[in-house]
Amino acid sequence: MTNSQNSRRSFLLLGAASVASVPLMWGRQSHAKTTVRGRFQDDQLGVQHLPADQVFEFVRSAHTDLERTQELLTVEPKLIRATYEWAPGDFESAMGAAAHSGSVDIVEYLLSAGGSYSIFVAAVLGHVDTVKAFLAHAPDQVNCRGPHGIPLLAHALAGGEKAAAVAELLMENGAEAEEEWSDLEIDASLAAFAVGKYQITRSGRTIEFTIANEESQLFIIVADREKKRLLYQGQNRFAIEGTPAELIFEQTEDSGKSCERVLLKEGFPVGFATRVSD
CB 169 within 8 A of CB 131: yes
pLDDT tens by residue, 259-268? 999 988 765 5
pLDDT surpassing 70 at residue 9: no
CATH of domain 52-172: 1.25.40.20
Give the pLDDT of residue 41.
Answer: 55
Report the predicted TM-score, pTM, of the whole model to 2 decimal places: 0.64
Q: What is the mean pLDDT of the chain?
A: 81
- Whether the CB-CB separation of 68 and 54 falls below 8 Å is answered with no
205 strand-pairing partners = 202
Beta-carbon neighbour count of residue 16 at 10 Å? 9
Tens of pLDDT, residue by residue over 82-137, are: 998 876 788 899 999 999 989 999 999 999 999 999 999 999 999 999 999 999 99
The residue ranges of DSSP E strands in the chain, in sequence order, are 35-37, 40-42, 48-49, 83-87, 90-93, 196-202, 205-214, 217-222, 226-234, 237-240, 246-249, 261-265, 271-277
* pLDDT tens by residue, 148-177: 788 899 899 889 999 999 999 999 999 987
Answer yes or no: are the C-beta atoms of 58 and 73 closer than 8 Å.
Answer: yes
pLDDT for 271: 79
* Predicted pLDDT of residue 263: 86
- Domain extent listing, the chain: 52-172, 188-277
